[in-house]
A and B are shown apart, each in its own frame.
Chain A
Amino acid sequence: MDDFFAFAWERIIPTLDAGLWTSILLIVPASLFGVAIGVSVGALRVYGPRPVVKTLDAYVSLFRGTPLVVQLYFWYFALPYVRIGDFALVLSPMWAAIVGFALCSGAYQSEYIRGGLLSIKRGQLRAAQALGMTPFQSVTSVVLPQAFRRALPGCGNEIIYLIKYSSLASIITVSDLTGMGRSLAKSSFRNTEVFIVVGLYYLALVTIASFLLKIAEKKLEIPGFESKRE
C-alpha cells in the first residue's frame, strides 16, 4: 500500500495533472458551445419555420443516432479527405474533439431545451405579442428564460455526461486525462493503480461540476421556479 501511495505521488499525479489541464480545455469550451447550440437549436425546432425545423431534426437524429467515437473519427481522420474544390479542413486533435463534443452535446441539449419550451404555456407568448413584441423578442425575453430554468437539471446532466465522454478524445491522440493515464499505464505496467486514480480525477471533476450547477440553479431560482417542491 505504501508503494501505491509513493507511486501515485511520484508518477501518476504529476502525469495526470498535465492531462487534467488538457481535459479542462476540452470540457469547458465544448460544454459552453453545447449549451449555446442546444438553446438555439431547441428554440428553432419549436418556433422556427418548417424547413429549418426539418433540417435541425435531421441534425439531432444524426448526432444522437451515431456513436460518438465514429463522429470523432470523422472529424479527425475523415474530414481532411472531404474536399470542397481545392479546400479541405484539417482540424487539430483538440479542435476535432471540441467540435465533436459540442455538436453531439448540442443535439442532446436541444432536446432538454425543447422540453422546457413546450412546458411554458402558450398564453404567455400571446401576451408578449399582444404587447407588440416581435416573435424573436417574445421567445428570447419571455419563453426562453423560463424554459431554461425548467431545462437546467437536464442540461446539467448532459454536461456531466460530457465530462466523462471527453475521455474519448484520447482515441484521436489528445493527451487528456485518459490519454496520459493510458501512456503511463503502458510504460509502467501498473494498470490498476493508474486507472483508479484516473477515475478519481473524473469523479472530482464531476463533483465540482455538480456543485457549480447547484449554485447556478440556486442563483436562477425565483418563486414559481423552485428547485425543490415542498
Chain B
Amino acid sequence: MDDPVILRVENIVKTIGGQRILDDVSFSVKKGHLKVLIGPSGAGKSTLLACINFLSPPDSGTISLDGKAVDGKSRKELLALRQQVGMIFQDFNLFDHLSALDNVRVALVKVKGLDKRAATNRAMEELARVGLADKSTLYPAQLSGGQKQRVSVARALAMDPKVLLLDEPTSALDPELIGEVLTVIRDLADLGMTMVMATHQISFSASLADEFLFMERGRIVERGAPSQLLARDSGSRTQSFCAKLSELAGDGHCEIAPAPRA
C-alpha cells in the first residue's frame, strides 16, 4: 500500500450559525482509493465534502491536494482546486437550460478553454462511458433521475479530476434507478478513480471501499476496513448503524456483498 496520498484533510473545523458542524476532522486518501463516509444525517458528511472543495470554506484546518496545501483566500488557487476535484451532488444539480451534451461541455469550454470541437468529442466520450451517448440532445427535464445523475458524473469526469467527491449520489433516486448509478460508481472504482463518498448504501460500498469513516456529531468516531467494522461481533457503531438501516429497509441483514471484482 504505498500509493501516494492525493488528498489530505487536516483538523477541519466548521461552525455554522454557532453550531459546530465539523469538529477537528482529519483523514487522507491515497491514489485510487475509495473512502466512504457513513453516519446519521446531520453528522456533517455533506459539510465535510463541501469543505474539501471550499464550496463551504472551513473555519480552520488544511486541505492539501497532491501534497500542496490550498490557500482558501487565493481565488486562483480555489478555482484550480475545484477544477481538479469533481463533485457529485445528491440532487444532481444539472444545468436545466442545457442539453446533456452541453452540461458536460460547458465547463470544458469556459473553464478548460477547449475549442468547441475538442470539447464536444470529450463530452460525447464521457456520456458514452456512463451509457448515455444516445441521450446527448435531451434536456434535464426529459431525463430520469438515474440518467441525470449519470450525466452529472460525466460532467465531473470530463474535467479529469484527481479526486471525485460524491455526496449521497443515490439518495434522491427511486429504488429501481439506484442500480444504474451504482454500476457507474463501481466502474470508476475499478478504473482506479480516487473517491470520497458519503452514502447510506453500506453493503454496496463495503465491497468497494478501502476504508469506512463513521461520522457522528461532526467527528469521525470510527474508522477501519469495512470487513472489520461490519463484522457481526465487532460491536462497532458502524455495525449497529448498518443493522438499524437494514432493519428499516426490511432486508434483515447487514453484511458485505460478495466481492464484485471477481
Binding site for B on A (CB under 8 A): 120-121, 123-124, 126-134, 137, 141-142, 145-146, 149, 222-225
Q: Give the complex CA separation of A121 and B94 in angstroms.
A: 10
Q: Is the CB of A123 within 8 A of B96?
A: no
Q: Is the CB of B96 within 8 A of A131?
A: no
Chain B residues with Cβ below 8 Å from A130 are: 53, 55, 82, 85-87
Q: Is the CB of B93 within 8 A of A123?
A: yes
Beyond A131-B159, A132-B83, A134-B79, whether A126 also contacts B93 by CB under 8 A is: yes
Chain B residues with Cβ below 8 Å from A120 are: 96
What does the 1/0 interface line of B133-155 toward A look like (CB < 8 Å)? 00000111110000000001001
CB of B16, distance to nearest CB on chain A (Å):
15
Beyond A124-B96, A127-B93, A225-B96, whether A133 also contacts B107 by CB under 8 A is: yes
Q: Is the CB of A129 within 8 A of B82?
A: yes
In the complex formed, the residue of B with least CB distance to A147 is B97
Binding site for A on B (CB under 8 A): 53, 55, 75, 79-80, 82-83, 85-87, 89, 91, 93-97, 106-107, 110-111, 138-142, 152, 155-156, 159
CB of A24, distance to nearest CB on chain B (Å):
32
CB of B141, distance to nearest CB on chain A (Å):
3
Q: Give the complex CA separation of A222 and B53 in angstroms.
A: 32
Q: Give the complex CA separation of A130 and B159 in angstroms.
A: 11
Q: Give the complex CA separation of A120 and B87 in angstroms.
A: 20
Cross-chain contact of B93 among A124, A141, A222 (Cβ < 8 A): A124
Q: Is the CB of B110 within 8 A of A133?
A: yes
Q: Is the CB of A141 within 8 A of B110?
A: yes
Cross-chain contact of A131 among B91, B97, B111 (Cβ < 8 A): B111
Q: Is the CB of B97 within 8 A of A149?
A: yes
Cross-chain contact of A223 among B85, B93, B141 (Cβ < 8 A): B141
In the complex formed, the residue of A with least CB distance to B106 is A141
Tally the A-B contacts, defined by beta carbons under 8 Å.
73
Q: Give the complex CA separation of A134 and B75 in angstroms.
A: 9
Chain A residues with Cβ below 8 Å from B91 are: 123
Q: Give the complex CA separation of A126 and B90 in angstroms.
A: 12
Beyond A223-B139, A224-B141, whether A128 also contacts B87 by CB under 8 A is: no
Q: Is the CB of A127 within 8 A of B95?
A: yes
Q: Give the complex CA separation of A124 and B96 in angstroms.
A: 8
Chain A residues with Cβ below 8 Å from B107 are: 128, 131-133
Q: Is the CB of A137 within 8 A of B89?
A: no
In the complex formed, the residue of A with least CB distance to B85 is A130
Cross-chain contact of B87 among A127, A141, A142, A223 (Cβ < 8 A): A127
Q: Is the CB of A131 within 8 A of B155?
A: yes
- Give 4 A-B pairs besides A130-B85, A146-B96 with Cβ atoms closer than 8 angstroms: A124-B95, A127-B95, A132-B111, A224-B139
CB of A147, distance to nearest CB on chain B (Å):
10
Q: Give the complex CA separation of A120 and B96 in angstroms.
A: 9
> Can you pick out 18 interface pairs between chain A and chain B where the beta carbons lie within 8 Å of each other?
A120-B96, A123-B93, A124-B94, A124-B95, A127-B152, A129-B82, A130-B53, A130-B85, A132-B79, A132-B111, A133-B110, A133-B111, A134-B79, A141-B110, A142-B95, A223-B138, A224-B97, A224-B142
Q: Is the CB of B89 within 8 A of A127?
A: yes
In the complex formed, the residue of B with least CB distance to A225 is B97
Chain A residues with Cβ below 8 Å from B85 are: 130
Q: Is the CB of A224 within 8 A of B82?
A: no
Beyond A146-B96, A222-B139, whether A126 also contacts B83 by CB under 8 A is: no
CB of B255, distance to nearest CB on chain A (Å):
34
Q: Give the complex CA separation of A123 and B80 in angstroms.
A: 20
Q: Give the complex CA separation of A106 and B110 in angstroms.
A: 29
Q: Give the complex CA separation of A155 and B35 in angstroms.
A: 49
Chain B residues with Cβ below 8 Å from A131 are: 82-83, 107, 111, 155-156, 159
Chain A residues with Cβ below 8 Å from B83 are: 131-132
CB of A76, distance to nearest CB on chain B (Å):
41
Chain A residues with Cβ below 8 Å from B93 are: 121, 123-124, 126-127
Chain A residues with Cβ below 8 Å from B138 are: 223
Q: Give the complex CA separation of A223 and B111 in angstroms.
A: 26
